[in-house]
Amino acid sequence: MRRIIPAALVAVSLSISLPARAEQFVNVLTGGTSGVYYPLGVALSNIYGKIPDVKASVQATKASVENLNLLSQGRGEIGFTLGDSLSQAWDGNEEVGFKAKQDKLRSIAGIYPNYIQIVAAADSGIKTLADLKGKKISVGAPKSGTELNARAIFAAAGMTYKDFARVEYLPFGESVDLMKNRQIDATLQSAGLGVASIRDLSNSVPIVIVPIPMETIAKVGDPAYITATIPAGTYGGQTADVPTAAVQNFLVTHAGVSDQLAYDMTKGLFENLDQLQAAHAAAKAITLSEAAVKSPVPLHPGAAKYYREKGLLK
């Protein structure tokens, strides 16, 4: 007994003195509160908050470009972005908001496509891209992913911002408010299908969704832009399918995030897709089979580990 008791006391003493696991913070970078990124980001934050020793938060931002800059600065652990913005960040395109090559960025997953949705008031006379000339339009927050999409599409259609009577650089919700008040004629919004802002608008005033033809998409000259369709009935009063362009979305992190945390975030995403789908219908397009799609930036080793376990990578 004399030998056993001291040994037991030593064991107890060691267990008491062991330090607790350090708490990790996961800040989810999203977009404006009236877009798709934000509700999905809230859902992700709830999922990540259940990872042991993780404290999760969600941050509303100006979306893609701001998210990528914040991640590069270590001011977030995971963020949403459009694929073309991600490519421009990796290249360090200063014109669109990246002062240098953002080489710390790492991909977590390809998720769902953003549909470039140009919506006009039904009584504006706008039915084609050419009809937008001389009209008042909002193109999204300055140097956001949406605004970069607007530049690309209008350039491919042979237009610049000088062709419009007025250009507003506003988030989705504020753009819709201007349309309701007849202060602008149209808005371009790059988001998942059924985005709340356009649903709200279509339930308030008659709208027209302006088609983006296949030949215009081809002239963009960026493989990130693909042809897509906005199905009839997506918005109130929309009775027919509308051809448009789409750009893949990604969830991105940075090299300073540990392999284990990146693994946990990737696993949490795909093992809780039902929670994301409950947050927004756009998440129905997120599939594990397409998650490891080729990204403009390297895949994080932690995410790669998860995909190898699932047989998606060798």
Per-residue pLDDT of the chain (314 residues; tens, 9 = 90+): 444 444 444 444 444 444 455 789 999 999 989 889 999 999 999 999 999 999 999 999 999 999 999 999 999 999 999 999 999 999 999 988 999 999 999 999 999 999 999 999 999 999 999 999 999 999 998 888 899 999 999 999 999 999 999 999 999 999 999 999 999 999 999 998 999 999 999 999 999 999 999 999 999 988 889 999 999 999 999 999 999 999 999 999 999 999 999 999 999 999 999 999 999 999 999 999 989 878 999 999 999 999 999 999 98
Neighbour tally for 160: CB within 10 Å: 10
Asked whether residue 79 is domain-assigned, the answer is yes
Neighbour tally for 133: CB within 10 Å: 14
Residue 13 is predicted with a pLDDT of 44
CB 56 within 8 A of CB 46: yes
d(CA 209, CA 230): 9
Using DSSP's 3-state secondary structure scheme, residue 213 falls into coil
Neighbour tally for 294: CB within 10 Å: 10
Region label for 246, one of left (φ > 0), alpha (ψ between -120 and 50) or beta (otherwise) = beta
Strands (E), the chain: 24-29, 54-59, 78-82, 105-121, 136-138, 166-168, 186-191, 207-210, 225-230, 242-254
Q: Which of 218, 247, 276 delimits the end of a domain?
A: 247
Asked whether residue 17 is domain-assigned, the answer is no
Q: Which of 200, 227, 247 delimits the end of a domain?
A: 247
CA distance to 7, 10, 14, per residue, from 2 (Å): 9, 13, 19
Residues 26 and 87 in one domain: yes
Neighbour tally for 125: CB within 10 Å: 11
Q: Which of 228, 247, 266 delimits the end of a domain?
A: 247
Residue identified by tokens 């708490």 is 23
d(CA 196, CA 60): 16
State if pTM tops 0.85: no
d(CA 60, CA 63): 8
Residues 240 and 271 in one domain: no
CB 263 within 8 A of CB 300: no
Residues 60 and 101 in one domain: yes
Using DSSP's 3-state secondary structure scheme, residue 148 falls into helix
Residues 99 and 119 in one domain: no
Helix axes 83-91 and 145-156, enclosed angle (nearest 10): 100
Residues 225 and 123 in one domain: yes
Helix axes 83-91 and 64-72, enclosed angle (nearest 10): 40
Q: Which of 149, 145, 131 is nearest to 245 (CA)?
A: 149
Residues 118 and 215 in one domain: yes
CA distance to 101, 105, 225, per residue, from 88 (Å): 9, 12, 14
**Parent domain of 188:** 114-247
CA distance to 197, 286, 304, per residue, from 250 (Å): 21, 10, 15
Residues 30 and 97 in one domain: yes
The sign one gets for the Cα dihedral 170, 171, 172, 177 is negative
CB 156 within 8 A of CB 84: no
Asked whether residue 12 is domain-assigned, the answer is no
Residue identified by tokens 């404006």 is 32
Assigned token pair, 99:
């002062």
Residue 21 is predicted with a pLDDT of 58
d(CA 258, CA 246): 32
Q: What is the CATH number of the domain that holds 62?
A: 3.40.190.10
Residues 181 and 83 in one domain: no
Residue 8 is predicted with a pLDDT of 45
How many domains would you assign to the chain? 2
CB 277 within 8 A of CB 284: yes
Residues 261 and 136 in one domain: no
